Structure 1
Amino acid sequence: MNTREVFERAMRPERLTGEIHTDHLADDVVLEWPFGARRIEGVEAFAAIAGPARAALPFRVDEVLIDTVHETADPEVIVVEYRLAGTMLAGGDRRESPLIAVIRARDGRITHWREYQDTLAIAQAMTGS
């Protein structure tokens, strides 16, 4: 399974709500959000943080809209431009937010995920302003 296939499997909407899925992550995965100054090391640390964080979200992810997947000179690395689209739990409004991720996968599992989020767009999507 190549990196794009691993990304597409990981980002199925049914995998982004409810139960935390980690079968697409290497045990020693590194996840980073540079604009949020966050870094998580290891699948266990991710699962411990992701469960409560997901439970606190005020929306349900309905779609992952992949705009572009850029292949790189390194066959393990892709750059993905995508949008998460979802429904607010209160009110039912539909919102979406753009993201870019640099992803490395090896042996069918993600070893490094660096995601760049438009934090202003996310805040506006969450508040509707």
Structure 2
Amino acid sequence: MIHYTLRRQMRFSSNCNLKRNKREGRYIRFLRVALFVTRQTLPMYSHKKSPHIYSLPQLISCVLLKIYMKNMSYRDLEDFLLSSGDIKRVLGLRRVPNYSTFSRVCNRVTGKEIKRILGKV
């Protein structure tokens, strides 16, 4: 009897998770597309000896989210990423980058490249 109810609960909870995953917010949909495009156009890391904590597509996707959300500072972007687990999961981030990391990435990548990638998204 207990085995049957546990199996039934597991089936019910897995069905609930499927229903929950079908509905996504616009920011998560935007990030999925942005991450796909940046992985196609940019190298994984800016230099072979750079610390491989965050990939370049992950960081540029976060910067594109900042541009998409309009009038958001790097500190606000960091706070937004800290508060949303779904976005971290979509980006594959174990921990959230510091706001200065986003600033350094923007200085490293030219504005033309970001506009070109944003046009594809």
Higher strand proportion (structure 1 or 2)? 1
TM-score normalized with structure 2 length = 0.23
Higher helix proportion (structure 1 or 2)? 2
TM-score normalized with structure 1 length = 0.22
Which entry has the higher C-alpha Rg, 1 or 2?
Answer: 2
